[in-house]
Amino acid sequence: MGNSHNAYTVKVAEQAIERIKALGMPADPGAFELWYTYASGRNQELNRRINSLIEDKGSLSADDHDSIRREFLQTARADTAIIDAGTKVSAEVDNVVKLLGELILSTARGRGDFAQASSQLANSLDQETIRAIADALIKSLRTIEIQHAVLEERLSSSKQEIESAKQALATATAEANLDVVTGLATRRKFDRMFEDAVQAANNSGEPLSLLMIDIDHFKKFNDRFGHLMGDSVLRLIGVTLKQSIKGQDTAARYGGEEFAVILPQTNLAGAAQLAEQIRNRIISRELKQRLTGESLGAITVSIGIATYRKGELPLTMLDRADAVLYNAKRAGRNCVRVEELAV
């Protein structure tokens, strides 16, 4: 079994290396993790995404690699961390329950000893008997005291373990919901929040709008200035979106250079006004090379907007917003396009 497993993992690793060589990618740990996962076939959605990109473009860019790793592999690690932390909390709670049971049993035994001694004292006036009963009670009290001290120490230790596990769980949950580059919600959190927003709009009849935002020519920017500057652009978009939305709105990094903003209780006109504000704020912020002071030019975005239609599924609305975004890109980019409402 061990030899067979080793042979399998070596074969998968070799296939991963071959993929990295064929695409001319650096053989760093991140690339190896991605292609090992691909070669193992254990994440079919990841494989479908990679196959689709290769079919469309013939290869994968470094940005494609980063985007897929963030979406699939970081999410998987966050899931594992959440499960591990949750399991540890559960185990420590079970331990505390067990300790409390021992404490109750110890107390019950002590009460039994006192009840027996009380009965014996009521029926005896012999001093030696009374002394023996008193010695037995003292011994019982000391035993209970020792047991309680041990249990208290164990309970204190369990409390610390629970606090540590709770902190780990909170950290893992935050990482699963927060994009590390932009500080915005992750795709995972967006999906959950968007589904809730659609259900709320369907129940209340209030309007709901969705912005889909794409950074114009982002891959060319990355190829020219490098991924560190590319991350600076992503952070710029993240800061702009956070400064532009209200408390009930949700801005998320949808994937790669694409972003989404959920706007509850906002009609199409209000969403279009906000989208123009976002577009203008982004284009007005000039990026420069930190060392040379060289201007990197204006960053522009294309934005598509759709509004909720009673009774439709979240995916339907999402597809419509994405289609409108595509229209904005076809129109020359650096513009806002709003869906055409049926009369």
Q: Which residue has the higher pLDDT, 9 or 267?
A: 267
The answer to the question of residue 70 being in a domain is no
Note the pLDDT tens digit of each residue in 220-271: 888 887 777 888 899 999 999 999 998 899 999 998 899 999 999 999 999 9
The mean pLDDT value of the chain amounts to: 77
Count the residues in the chain: 343
Burial class of residue 286 (count of CB atoms within 10 Å of its CB; 0-12, 13-18, 19+): exposed
At 56 the pLDDT is 76
Same domain assignment for residues 148 and 96: yes
Same domain assignment for residues 297 and 197: yes
At 343 the pLDDT is 35
Q: 19-28, 59-68, 144-153, 284-293: which range is least confident on average?
A: 144-153
Task: Determine the average pLDDT of the residues in 54-67.
Answer: 75
295, pLDDT greater than 70: yes
Same domain assignment for residues 238 and 324: yes
Note the pLDDT tens digit of each residue in 160-213: 666 665 665 555 555 567 888 888 988 888 988 999 999 999 999 999 999 999
Kind and range of the H or E element at 304? strand 301-307
The answer to the question of residue 343 being in a domain is no
Same domain assignment for residues 158 and 99: yes
Q: How far is CA 2 from CA 7, 10, 39, in A?
A: 9, 12, 20
Beta carbons of 240 and 278 less than 8 angstroms apart: yes
User: End of a domain among 10, 35, 60?
Assistant: 60
Q: How far is CA 118 from CA 111, 113, 123, 136, 143, in A?
A: 10, 9, 9, 12, 19
| Helix-helix angle 2-23:29-40, to 10 degrees | 120
Concatenating the DSSP letter of every residue in 166-206 gives HHHHHHHHHHHHB-TTT-SB-HHHHHHHHHHHHHHHHHH--
At 285 the pLDDT is 84
Q: Which domain holds residue 50?
A: 2-60
The answer to the question of residue 66 being in a domain is no
Same domain assignment for residues 21 and 157: no
Beta carbons of 100 and 147 less than 8 angstroms apart: no
At 1 the pLDDT is 47
The answer to the question of residue 67 being in a domain is no
At 242 the pLDDT is 93
The answer to the question of residue 68 being in a domain is no
At 41 the pLDDT is 79
**Into how many domains does the chain fold?**
3
Same domain assignment for residues 264 and 226: yes
322, pLDDT greater than 80: yes
Q: Which two tokens stand for residue 115?
A: 């009840």
Note the pLDDT tens digit of each residue in 80-117: 555 555 566 556 555 655 655 565 556 655 555 555 55
User: End of a domain among 157, 177, 197?
Assistant: 177
Q: Of 11, 16, 41, give the one whose Cα is nearest residue 29.
A: 16
The answer to the question of residue 105 being in a domain is yes
Same domain assignment for residues 230 and 281: yes
Same domain assignment for residues 161 and 193: no
Q: Which residue has the higher pLDDT, 215 or 99?
A: 215
Note the pLDDT tens digit of each residue in 186-198: 888 898 899 999 9
Beta carbons of 23 and 62 less than 8 angstroms apart: no
At 227 the pLDDT is 77
Same domain assignment for residues 20 and 147: no
Q: 129-133, 247-251, 278-282: which range is least confident on average?
A: 129-133
Q: Is residue 128 among the annotated active site residues? A: no
78, pLDDT greater than 60: no
Above pLDDT 70, what percent of the chain?
64
The residue annotated as part of the active site, out of 257, 276, 294, 340, is 257
Side chain identity, residue 217:
H
Contact partners, residue 324, CB within 8 Å, separation at least 6 = 212, 304, 305, 306, 337, 338, 339
Residue 207: HSE in the Cβ half-sphere, 13 Å Cα cutoff = 13
